[in-house]
Amino acid sequence: MDTQSFTFHTDPGHGWLEVSKSQLETVGLGVDQISGYSYRNGDTLYLEEDCDAGLFLAGYKAKYGKLPECLDRYAEDSFVRNLPHV
């Protein structure tokens, strides 16, 4: 399998890894395991960097044997903060 890539959204104060609900489930995690510090827009989750993103990345590495590529997307005022929490 080729390495997947995920977008890592950041602003001056924080960051979030963008994954779909199905990608989360593929690595053995459910939405109920994600903290209220992460955000959601439909089936797209924005996993907060300090806990939830690490949980996903550990599951990804356990399943695929390597970490995915993460593409940074910086914004002074990230849209993620305006989404509802998980």
Domain ranges for the chain = 5-82
Q: Per-residue pLDDT for 2 more than 90?
A: no
In this prediction the pTM is: 0.94
The answer to whether 47 and 16 have CB atoms below 8 angstroms apart is: yes
pLDDT band at 69 (very low <50, low <70, confident <90, very high): very high
Mean pLDDT, rounded, for 10-32 = 97
Residue 1 has pLDDT above 60, yes or no: no
Query: Does position 32 have pLDDT exceeding 80, yes or no?
Result: yes
Average pLDDT over the chain reads 96
